[in-house]
A = this chain, B = another copy of it.
Amino acid sequence: MILAKVVGTVVASQKESSMDGLKFLTLQQVDLEGKATGGFVVAADAVGAGVGEMVLYASGSSARQTKATENRPCDAVVMAIVDNWETDGTLKYKKGRDD
């Protein structure tokens, strides 16, 4: 999985019908310090994440292992909202403190 920040949403009314009802979030990848790496992706939302939240997303076939994305042409899914993480014993991100 990759750490990322939700920065926006994509609207697409004309799409493969199985994608109806899925919310598309734009994500900026961050490194273990919480800094943007320059990488980005559009992911389906499986956990009710909102803009500004730090999340984990899964890619590839693993992105279809949620109720929201099963059997759909979806290759990235937000499957967790991050509370905090630490690196080498130091708290690098804490929801609320670092948003």
Contact = CB atoms under 8 A, between A and B. Distances in A.
Interface of A: 1-3, 7-16, 18-19, 24, 26, 28, 31-32, 40-44, 46-48, 51, 56, 58-66, 69, 71-77, 79-89, 92
A86 to B, nearest CB: 5
A63 B72 CA distance: 9
Given A15-B56, A51-B88, A64-B65, 20 more contacts: A2-B42, A3-B10, A7-B87, A8-B85, A10-B84, A14-B47, A15-B47, A15-B81, A16-B46, A16-B47, A16-B80, A24-B56, A51-B89, A61-B61, A62-B73, A62-B75, A65-B72, A65-B73, A69-B73, A73-B77
A97 to B, nearest CB: 13
> Which of A9, A16, A28, A69 neighbours the largest number of chain B CB atoms within 10 Å of its CB?
A16
Copies in the complex: 5
B73 A63 contact: yes
